[in-house]
C-alpha cells in the first residue's frame, strides 16, 4: 500500500512543506522524480521495490504538493533541499534512485554530501553539449501562466503530447523523432495535471537541472557506488558514451527496455547494506487518513487543527480551501487529493456519511458543517471531463469555472441567471485553482445528488 504524508523542512529560519509518498518495508530508499513530474510517477515502481525497501518519494520543491524554494535557486539548492528532507525525516544515510532530472539532483547531492548515501542508481544522465545547452535555454522552458480564456491549456496539452513525438519537444522535424510516440490521452493527462500543480515553478526547478554542471566525480573521489543505465528509446541513452572517466565504484550500461533498466537498478541497490529506517516524522496540521468503509477504501486528505471542534465539508466540484482556526477540513472521496470510490460508486448520502463519520471519529469531532446544495441540474452542472485525444476537456473545464462566476447555474447564460461578481474573481490565477479542483472532482455529480437526498 502507498501512503501519503507531509513534513516541514526548516531552512534558514523558514519552513517549507514537503509532500511525499511511502510504500514497502525494510531500509529506506529515497526516490527522486524527473521534471516536471511528481512522486506520483513512481507509484507502480514503489509497489514493486517495496518488497526490498521502504520507498520514500518526495515531490521536489515546487512540484506536486511541495512548496517551492525561495528566490532563484540553482541545482545546489535543490540538492541541499533533498538532504534537508532526509534531515527532517531523521534519516542519516540511505540508498537512492533518480530518473533523468532526479538523477542530476542526486548526483549533485552526492558530491556535496557523500556520507548521506550508501548507493545510487540513476536512469539516464544527461551530458549536454554547449550547443544543446544553448538550444534548451532559448526554447525548452517558456513561462507558464494561466491566461484569461484558457489559451495556456491548449499550449500545455500539445507540449506534453509532442514530448513523446520529438526531443526536444519543440523540434518538430524528422531528425528529432522519438521511437515511443503515442497519442494516449490518459498518459498525457497525468503529466498535464502535474504541470498544473507546479505552474510556472516548473521553469525554476527544471531550469536548475538543465543549467547544472555535468561534472561526474573524479576517479579518486570518495563517493558511494552508482550505476547509470539507459534503455532503448531513452533520449539520454547516447549520453552513456559522454560520461567519461568515473569513480572506480561507478558503472554505466545500455539496456534494452524500461523493465531491464529497473531490474539492473534494483540489483545494484540491494547489493549494498543499508541502515535501518528510523520512525518518520510528519506534519501535525495536514496529512492523509487511511479510511475503510463498506464502499470506500483509500486515503482522505485533511488539513487543520487536531484539536478542532468542527469538521468542514466543501461543496461539490471543490476541495479544501481556507480552514477556520477551530476546524478540520477534508477533501471528500473523488475530490481534491483524496482517493476515489474505485468502482464502488456511492448510492446515497449514507455512503458519504460513513466516510465522514470515520474521519470525525479519528479526531474526536461531533459537529459537521455541510455546504448548501448548488442550484441547477447535476447532469448539466458536471459534464464528462474525461481526457480526450485533443485536450478539449481542459478548455471545457476552464469555461465552466469562468462562467460559474458570472451565471448561476453556469450553463444558463442569461439576464435572469446573472450573478453579481467582483472582477478579481476572474483573475486567471484565481480561476486556475478552481479549474484544477474541477478536474480533480471525479465524483462531483454523485456528491451533489447525495446532498440533495439527505
- Taking alpha carbons only, the member of 1, 123, 114, 135 closest to residue 55 is 1
Please count the structural domains in the chain. Answer: 3
pLDDT tens by residue, 427-444: 999 999 999 999 999 999
Residues 6+ apart with CB under 8 A from 87: 9
Peptide bond into 177 cis (omega under 30): no
Q: Is 96 helix (H, G, I), strand (E, B) or coil?
A: strand
Please check the confidence at residue 423 and state whether its pLDDT lies above 80.
yes
- Taking alpha carbons only, the member of 64, 74, 81, 96 closest to residue 15 is 81
pLDDT tens by residue, 121-155: 999 999 988 888 887 777 899 999 999 999 999 99
Which H or E run includes 112? helix 101-112
Contact between 106 and 96 (Cβ < 8 Å): yes
- Do the domain assignments include residue 280? no
Contact between 348 and 315 (Cβ < 8 Å): no
Q: Does 378 lie in the same domain as 290?
A: yes
Task: Quote the CA–CA distance of 64 and 84 in Å, as a whole number.
Answer: 18
Q: Does 415 lie in the same domain as 302?
A: yes
| CATH number of the domain enclosing 41 | 3.40.50.1820
Q: Does 220 lie in the same domain as 352?
A: no
Q: Does 448 lie in the same domain as 387?
A: yes
- Domain range for 393 is 286-453
Task: Quote the CA–CA distance of 410 and 432 in Å, as a whole number.
Answer: 17
DSSP state of 418: B
- Do the domain assignments include residue 351? yes
Q: Does 332 lie in the same domain as 377?
A: yes
Q: Does 175 lie in the same domain as 222?
A: no
Of 201, 223, 238, the last residue of a domain is: 201
Residue whose C-alpha cell reads 477534508 in the numeric block = 330
pLDDT tens by residue, 246-286: 999 999 999 999 999 999 999 999 998 888 888 888 899 99
Q: Give whole-number Cα distances, 390 to 37, 53, 380, 401, in Å.
A: 21, 40, 22, 20
Which H or E run includes 132? helix 130-139
Task: Quote the CA–CA distance of 8 and 287 in Å, as a whole number.
Answer: 12
What is the grid cell recorded at 156? 500545455
- Taking alpha carbons only, the member of 217, 182, 201 closest to residue 37 is 201
Contact between 368 and 451 (Cβ < 8 Å): no
Rounded (to 5) percent helix, strand, coil in the chain:
40, 20, 45
Q: Is 287 helix (H, G, I), strand (E, B) or coil?
A: strand
% residues pLDDT > 70 (the chain): 100
Q: Does 176 lie in the same domain as 230?
A: no
Q: Does 195 lie in the same domain as 211?
A: no
- Do the domain assignments include residue 276? no
Average pLDDT on 297-320 reads 96
DSSP state of 407: B
Q: Does 326 lie in the same domain as 249?
A: no
Rounded (5°) CA angle 21-27-31: 40
Q: Give whole-number Cα distances, 344 to 293, 300, 302, in Å.
A: 11, 16, 22
Phi, psi of 121, rounded to the nearest 5 degrees = -130, 135
Q: Does 214 lie in the same domain as 197?
A: no
DSSP state of 434: H
Please check the confidence at residue 3 and state whether its pLDDT lies above 80.
yes
In sequence order, the β-bridge partners of residue 329 are 303, 312
Task: Quote the CA–CA distance of 40 and 198 in Å, as a whole number.
Answer: 13
pLDDT confidence tier of residue 69, bands split at 50, 70 and 90: very high
**Whole-model pTM?**
0.94
Q: Does 327 lie in the same domain as 438?
A: yes
Residue 275: how many other CB atoms lie within 10 Å: 13
Of 179, 201, 223, the last residue of a domain is: 201
- In the prediction, which pLDDT does 134 show? 80
- In the prediction, which pLDDT does 369 show? 95
Averaged pLDDT score across all residues of the chain: 95
Q: Does 196 lie in the same domain as 211?
A: no
- In the prediction, which pLDDT does 274 show? 83
- In the prediction, which pLDDT does 218 show? 87
- Taking alpha carbons only, the member of 247, 189, 190 closest to residue 215 is 247
Question: What does the DSSP assignment read for 26-93?
Answer: SSEEEEEPPTT--GGGGHHHHHHHTTTSEEEEEPPTTSTTSPPPSSS--HHHHHHHHHHHHHHHT---
Average pLDDT on 377-397 reads 97
- Do the domain assignments include residue 403? yes
- In the prediction, which pLDDT does 129 show? 86
- In the prediction, which pLDDT does 280 show? 80
Phi, psi of 163, rounded to the nearest 5 degrees = -65, -25
Of 183, 201, 219, the last residue of a domain is: 201
Amino acid at each position: 500500500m502507498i501512503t501519503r504524508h507531509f513534513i516541514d523542512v526548516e531552512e534558514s529560519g523558514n519552513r517549507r512543506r514537503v509532500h511525499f509518498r511511502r510504500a514497502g518495508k525494510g531500509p529506506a530508499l529515497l526516490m527522486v522524480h524527473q521534471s516536471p513530474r511528481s512522486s506520483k510517477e513512481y507509484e507502480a515502481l514503489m509497489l514493486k521495490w517495496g518488497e526490498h525497501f521502504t520507498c520514500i518519494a518526495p515531490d521536489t520543491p515546487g512540484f506536486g504538493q511541495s512548496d517551492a524554494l525561495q528566490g532563484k535557486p540553482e541545482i545546489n539548492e535543490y540538492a541541499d533541499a533533498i538532504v534537508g528532507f532526509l534531515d527532517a525525516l531523521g534519516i542519516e544515510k540511505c540508498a537512492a534512485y533518480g530518473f533523468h532530472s532526479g538523477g542530476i539532483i542526486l548526483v549533485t547531492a552526492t558530491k556535496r554530501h557523500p556520507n548521506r548515501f550508501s548507493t545510487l542508481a540513476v536512469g539516464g544522465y544527461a551530458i549536454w553539449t554547449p550547443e544543446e545547452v544553448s538550444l534548451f535555454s532559448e526554447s525548452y522552458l517558456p513561462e507558464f501562466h494561466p491566461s484569461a480564456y484558457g489559451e495556456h491549456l491548449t499550449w500545455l496539452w500539445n507540449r506534453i503530447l509532442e514530448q513523446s513525438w520529438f526531443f526536444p519537444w519543440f523540434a518538430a522535424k524528422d531528425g528529432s523523432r522519438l521511437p515511443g510516440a503515442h497519442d494516449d490521452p490518459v498518459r498525457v493527462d497525468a503529466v498535464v495535471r502535474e504541470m498544473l500543480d507546479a505552474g510556472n515553478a516548473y521553469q525554476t526547478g527544471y531550469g536548475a537541472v538543465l543549467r547544472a554542471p555535468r561534472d561526474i566525480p573524479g576517479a579518486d573521489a570518495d563517493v558511494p557506488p552508482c550505476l547509470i543505465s539507459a534503455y532503448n528509446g531513452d533520449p539520454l541513452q547516447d549520453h552513456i558514451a559522454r560520461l567519461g572517466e568515473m569513480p572506480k565504484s561507478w558503472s554505466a550500461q545500455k539496456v534494452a527496455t524500461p523493465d531491464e533498466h529497473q531490474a539492473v537498478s534494483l540489483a545494484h541497490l540491494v547489493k549494498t547494506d543499508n541502515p535501518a529506517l528510523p520512525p518518520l516524522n510528519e506534519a501535525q496540521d495536514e496529512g492523509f487518513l487511511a479510511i475503510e468503509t463498506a464502499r470506500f477504501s483509500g486515503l482522505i486528505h485533511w488539513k487543520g487543527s487536531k484539536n478542532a471542534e468542527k469538521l468542514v465539508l466543501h461543496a461539490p466540484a471543490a476541495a479544501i480551501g481556507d480552514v477556520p482556526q477551530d476546524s478540520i477540513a477534508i477533501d471528500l472521496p473523488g475530490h481534491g487529493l483524496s482517493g476515489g470510490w474505485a468502482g464502488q460508486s456511492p448510492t446515497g448520502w449514507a455512503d458519504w456519511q460513513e466516510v465522514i463519520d470515520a474521519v470525525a471519529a479519528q479526531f474526536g469531532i461531533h459537529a459537521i458543517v455541510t455546504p448548501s446544495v448548488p442550484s441547477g441540474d447535476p447532469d448539466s452542472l458536471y459534464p464528462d471531463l474525461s481526457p480526450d485525444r485533443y485536450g478539449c476537456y481542459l478548455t471545457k473545464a476552464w469555461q465552466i469555472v469562468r462562467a460559474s462566476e458570472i451565471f448561476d447555474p453556469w450553463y444558463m447564460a442569461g439576464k435572469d441567471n446573472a450573478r453579481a461578481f467582483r472582477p478579481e474573481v476572474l483573475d486567471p490565477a484565481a480561476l486556475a485553482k478552481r479549474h484544477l479542483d474541477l478536474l480533480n472532482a471525479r465524483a462531483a455529480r454523485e456528491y451533489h445528488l447525495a446532498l440533495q437526498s439527505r
